[in-house]
Amino acid sequence: MAPTTADLPRAASRALARWAPANHRQLPWRLTRDPWGVLVSEVMLQQTQVDRVAPRWQQFMGVFPTPAAAAVAGVAAVVDQWAGLGYNRRAVALHRAAVVCVDEHDGRLPDDLAGLLALPGVGPYTARAVLAFAFERDVGVVDTNVGRVLARTAGRRLRPAEAQAAADAAVPAGQGWAHNQAMLDLGAQVCGARVARCDGCPIRRWCAWQGGPGTDPATGSAGVTTRQSRFAGSDRQGRGRLVDALRSAGHVGAEHLAEVAGWPHDCERAITVAATLVADGLALPDGSGGLKRP
């Protein structure tokens, strides 16, 4: 029978803590408590696989080790370093956050939830991740992996407030960093989206679902993302092609927009997509209908 609340019992948290050391993923950003480094990793990890992010995070931090370094370099330089990670507007938001840190926080990230949420591009998950993984605060973080674990253990879909409250309640005092990393590892390695390895789950005895028949309670639950839309032929692909061209050439003339975007016979679509790049700060109009680097 499903629990009456989504809270994990303390015994489950202790079992998870015993499981974690032998199953801890070795990720480069886990070796730092630098708030900027943690923020960069979390922004990169949004909709991008861990294996792709690991080497790029190290490269990015080598170029922009502080918010001040990113702010001074300018948005075009930050976007250049983002090549290959996709969703380039994240790079623009990260640069804007760096500027706010320099202008309003003496070059440092805020260490409170409200201050972090006020940074461009920083949402509830990312703000709490910085608090837990940089400042080691006892707050729960709810990404798609954690949201899936919480919904399955509860045996039902969770509303956002429920999932966050359950995540917060599960954190043992003084263990914000370790507990949240263990929850992320559990969701990534055991309680998978497609395959749930319930036999190897350290908290199975407290799970209401246990891989049972019927609808997966994680489907549509708070924090659990759905599959991304098809990339090939999408506006996202066209945007990416235009941004790549701006990285290499610095300019795309109006007469080349459609060809570069990959739709040589659909100029109207290319113009519309080009306008979204300007709106997102990824490009500037060149005054003749084309684009130039910001």
Strands 284-285 and 251-252: unpaired
| C-alpha triplet 217, 220, 222: angle, nearest 5° | 95
Please answer whether residues 164 and 124 qualify as being in contact, where contact means their C-beta atoms are separated by less than 8 angstroms. Answer: yes
Q: Check if the beta carbon of residue 209 is closer than 8 Å to that of residue 221.
A: no
**69: which 2 tokens?**
């370094």
Tell the residue number behind the tokens 């999932």, with chain if given.
Answer: 163
The catalytic position among 42, 104, 136, 268 is 42
Active site residue 42: yes
Q: CA torsion 147→152→154→159, rounded to 10°?
A: 40
* Length of the chain (residues): 294
Catalytic residues: 42
